[in-house]
């Protein structure tokens, strides 16, 4: 205990459990984004075009978010092709090789403009 709080948190969740708890159907998620691609293995999120020896050796990985597009920064996505050897363990470029290309929507810049018709305009 530290100041009356546990020093180590023992309760964890995953993205799909958090969606269920929030009442969000993963099939209704349109976009996935991360602050950086390092340490992100998005194969289970987007699915793959071919089997993956380490997680699904006999068939392509099914997408947990079947309609979502990944929105990475274009510069970071392009950097995966020529990583410094010290970066390779963090970025895992091989995990991006077999993603469905139509599910990747690269961004240029740091602002995402979202249009949402289900909310009234701000006044």
Tokens of 93: 């470029």
Give pLDDT tens digits for 70-110: 999 898 888 888 888 888 888 888 888 899 999 999 998 86
How far apart CA 49 and CA 59 sit, in angstroms, is 9
10-53 per-position pLDDT tens digit: 667 888 999 999 999 999 999 998 888 877 889 999 999 999 99
CA angle 108–111–117, rounded 5-degree value: 115
> At a CB cut-off of 8 Å and minimum separation 6, what does 101 contact?
none
CB 25 within 8 A of CB 67: no
Q: What is the pTM of this model?
A: 0.76
């Amino acid at each position: 205990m530290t100041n009356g709080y546990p020093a180590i948190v023992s309760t964890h969740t995953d993205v799909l459990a958090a969606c269920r708890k929030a009442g969000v159907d993963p099939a209704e998620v349109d976009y996935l984004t991360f602050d950086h691609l390092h340490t992100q293995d998005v194969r289970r999120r987007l699915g793959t075009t071919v089997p993956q020896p380490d997680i699904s050796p006999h068939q392509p990985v099914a997408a947990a978010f079947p309609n979502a597009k990944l929105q990475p920064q274009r510069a970071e996505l392009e950097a995966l092709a020529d990583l410094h050897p010290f970066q390779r363990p963090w970025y895992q470029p091989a995990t991006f090789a077999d993603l469905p290309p139509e599910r990747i929507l690269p961004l240029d810049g740091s602002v995402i403009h979202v249009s949402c018709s289900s909310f009234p305009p701000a006044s």
